[in-house]
Chain A
Amino acid sequence: MTAEILIQSLVFGIFVGALYGLAAAGLSLVFGVMKMLNVAHGELLMLGGYATFYLFSLCDLDPFLSLVIAGPILFLIGILLFKGLFSFLARLDEENKIKNSLLVGFGISLVLHNLAILLFTADERSVTPTYAGAGFELFAIQFPYIRVGGLLLSILLMYSMHLFLNKTYFGKAIRATTENWQAATLMGINIEKTYLISFALGTALAGIAGTIVSVGYAIHPAMGMEWTIKALIVIVLAGLGNIGGAFIAGVFLGAIESVSALFVGAYMEVVGLVIFLMVLELRPQGLFGR
C-alpha cells in the first residue's frame, strides 16, 4: 500500500465526514436547546436531498444553488413539525421529554419514509451536474469538484452558524437556553420562540446536508435511519449539545471509517462504532466536552 492511497482515502473520508458533521450539527442544536432527540433527522435530510433532486431534474437548477430553496423549505417543515408536534413535549420533565421525543420522532420517520416511497418511488436517485466527473489533482491526490464544493460549503455553513450563535441576539438566546432554560426565562428570553427557531434551524441544516449528499452520493427513501444513527454517534462523540464539536467529530469519524476501510474492509463501520463506545466509556462528556 502506498502513501498516496492512504492519503487519498483520508481525503475522501474527510469529504464524507463533513456531511456527517453537518447532519450531526443540526441534531446537536436541537438536542442542546430542547433536550429532545429527533430521530426523524435522517428523514429530514432525505427530504432535502429530494428537494435538490427535483429542483435539478425539473427546473435545471444547479444543486449547490438549490440549497437556497431546499434550506428554507426544510426550515418551514421544521416550523410545522415543532408547532404541530414537538411543542407539546416541551413542557414535560427532562427524562420523559427525551423518551417521548424519541417516540414521536420515530413515528415521523415512519411517515416520512413511506410518504417518500409513495411520492418519489423507492428508486435510488443521484444528482449529476455536468461537472460531476471533473476535478483537479494535487500531489497525485484526486479532488473532485463536487466533493470539494460540499466540504467548503459545509465549513462555510458551520462558520456562519458559529457567527450566528455568538454574534446575534437569537444566537445568544439559543446558547443561554442550552445552558439553563430557567435562568434564560428569568432574563426575559422568549423560550417558546427560541425553541421554534432552533428546531427549524436544525431541520434546515439536515435539509442542506441532504442537498450535499444528493450530489455525488445516492438518496433513497430508506436512507434516513442510517443517517440518524451516524448523527447520533457523532453528537455523542463530540459531547451532547456541542455544535462546533459535532462538525469536527463528524470529520474525524468519516476519516477513521475511510482509512480503516483499507485495512478491515467491510468492518469499517465497526471500527467507528468501537471508537465511539470507547469514548462513551472513558470520556462520557465527549471528546470536546468540559
Chain B
Amino acid sequence: MAELPTGRKQLLIFCAAGAVLFLFPILIKRDDYINLMILIFLFTILAQSWNILAGYAGQVSLGHAAFFGIGAVATRVLWYTGLPYVMALFAGGIIAGCFSLAIGIPALRLRGIYFAIGTLGLAEIFRITIGNILPTVTPFPVEALVTYTLVTRYYLCLVLALITVTIVFIISNSKLGLGMVAVREDVDTAEASGVNTFRVKVMALIISSFLAGLAGGAYAYYQVSFYYDMPFSPIWTFDAMLIAFVGGVGTITGPIIGSLFYAIIREAFALTMGQMHVLVFGVLFVLVVLLLPGGLVEVVAKGRRFFSGFKAKSI
C-alpha cells in the first residue's frame, strides 16, 4: 500500500490541482477535451466509491452498477417530475444509499467470493426489472436540450469528484478507515480486537453506494438519452474495478491515476485504432494486472524511492 497523502504538502497539491481544473474550461475551449475531462471525473467518482468498499473495507462487490443505475434513474425521474436538478441529484444518491442498506444487511453476511457473486446477482435483478418496467429510451426534455452546455456538466462532475476525493481522504484518516482496513486484512482478528466489523462494513457500503448514486446522477445529467437499464449494465462495475485496480486499489491516488490512464488511453486508442482499440486495451490491461499487481501507484512510489535513494543513499 502506498502512503496516504497527509500533511500540508498534499493539501497544497490538492488545492493547486483543483484550481487548475477550475480554470481548465476557461483556458481550453475545446469540447473534446472538456468531454474527456468529464469522463475522467465520472470514472474517478465511480472508481473511488468502489474503492471505499473493496479497496479499504475489502468487500469486493461485483454489483456496483446497481447503485450507479439507481442513482441515474432516480435522478432522471425526479428531475423530470420538476425537482431542481441538484436536489434530484442528492435524492438519487440518498435513494441509492437506502437501497444499499436494504440489500447490504443480508448481503454483507456473505464472505469473499460469495459476496462478489451475490452482489452480481443482485445487480442483475435490478437490471432486468428496470429493463422490464421502463423499457424505453429516456431523452432530454426540449428545454433542457436547448440549454445544454458541456461546461455546466464539467463543473458539476469536477465538484462531485473533489467532494468524493475529500470524503475518501477524511475516511482514510479516521477511526472508521482504520476499522475498514482491519476488516480487509482479517475480519476475525478485527472482531476480536473490538472492531464492530458488521457496522464498519455497512458504513462502507452506504458511503460507497451513495457516491456511486451521485456518479449515476451526474451521468443522468450528462448523457442526453439512454435506455433506463443501460446504467445497470455490469460494464459499469467492471469499469470501476478495472480503474481502481490499474491505478492501485486501497489508495486515494490510485483511482484518480487509474481514471486518467483509462479514459485517455481508451480514447487515444479509439481515435487511432478504430475497431481494434478495445482489443489492444484488453491486452494492455492484462499486462498491467500481471506485471504491476500494486497498480500504477506502486510504479510511482517505486520511482520516487529510486530517486530519493540517490539523494539519501537509503531506501
Tell me if A's interface is mostly helix, strand, loop or mixed. helix
Contacts of B162 in A (CB 8 A): none
Q: Is A155 an interface residue (CB 8 A)?
A: no
Q: Is A135 an interface residue (CB 8 A)?
A: no
Q: Which of A96, A103, A269, A281 contacts B124 (CB 8 A)?
A: A269
CB atoms of A108 and B122 under 8 A apart: no
User: Interface readout for B229-257 with A: 1 if CB under 8 Å, 0 if not?
Assistant: 00000100010011001000000000000
Measured CA separation A239–B132 after assembly (Å): 30
CB atoms of A270 and B129 under 8 A apart: yes
CB atoms of A103 and B125 under 8 A apart: no
For chain A residues 242-290, which have a beta carbon within 8 Å of chain B? 266-267, 269-270, 273-274, 276-277, 280-281, 284
Q: Is A114 an interface residue (CB 8 A)?
A: yes
CB atoms of B234 and A225 under 8 A apart: yes
Instruction: Known A114-B278, A236-B117, A267-B132; judge A108-B110 contact (CB<8 A).
Output: no
User: Interface readout for A221-239 with B: 1 if CB under 8 Å, 0 if not?
Assistant: 0000100010011001000
Q: Is B112 an interface residue (CB 8 A)?
A: yes
CB atoms of A100 and B125 under 8 A apart: no
CB atoms of B285 and A110 under 8 A apart: yes
Binds A, one of B3-11, B14-22, B88-96, B286-294: B286-294
Measured CA separation A185–B278 after assembly (Å): 40
Contacts of A284 in B (CB 8 A): 110, 114
Q: Is A161 an interface residue (CB 8 A)?
A: no
- A251 to B: closest C-beta gap in Å: 19
CB atoms of B290 and A114 under 8 A apart: no
Contact residues on A (Cβ < 8 Å of other chain), bracket: 35 or more
CB atoms of A100 and B117 under 8 A apart: no
Q: Is A111 an interface residue (CB 8 A)?
A: yes
Contacts of A102 in B (CB 8 A): 60, 116, 241
Contacts of A104 in B (CB 8 A): 286, 289-290
Measured CA separation A266–B128 after assembly (Å): 8
- A104 to B: closest C-beta gap in Å: 5
Instruction: Known A236-B114, A277-B122; judge A108-B286 contact (CB<8 A).
Output: yes
Measured CA separation A276–B132 after assembly (Å): 20
User: Interface readout for A149-177 with B: 1 if CB under 8 Å, 0 if not?
Assistant: 00000000000000000000000000000
Q: Is B104 an interface residue (CB 8 A)?
A: no
Contacts of B146 in A (CB 8 A): none
Instruction: Known A96-B293, A104-B289; judge A110-B128 contact (CB<8 A).
Output: no
Q: Which of B106, B110, B245, B278 contacts A103 (CB 8 A)?
A: B245
Instruction: Known A98-B112, A98-B113; judge A107-B129 contact (CB<8 A).
Output: no
Q: Is B315 an interface residue (CB 8 A)?
A: no
Contacts of B276 in A (CB 8 A): 114, 118
Contacts of B283 in A (CB 8 A): 107, 111
CB atoms of B275 and A106 under 8 A apart: no
Chain B interface (Cβ within 8 Å of chain A)? 60, 106, 109-110, 112-114, 116-118, 120-122, 124-125, 128-129, 132, 234, 238, 241-242, 245, 275-276, 278-279, 281-283, 285-286, 289-290, 293
> Can you report 7 A-B residue pairs in the complex whose CB atoms are below 8 A from each other?
A99-B245, A108-B282, A114-B276, A236-B117, A266-B128, A273-B122, A280-B118
Chain A interface (Cβ within 8 Å of chain B)? 37, 85, 88-89, 95-96, 98-100, 102-104, 106-111, 113-115, 117-118, 225, 229, 232-233, 236, 240, 266-267, 269-270, 273-274, 276-277, 280-281, 284
A-B CB proximity, top 5 nearest:
A110-B282, A107-B286, A111-B282, A114-B279, A107-B285
Not counting A89-B290, A102-B60, A266-B128, a sample of 13 additional A-B residue pairs whose C-beta atoms are within 8 angstroms of each other reads A37-B113, A99-B245, A100-B289, A103-B241, A106-B238, A114-B282, A117-B275, A225-B234, A240-B113, A270-B125, A270-B129, A277-B106, A281-B106
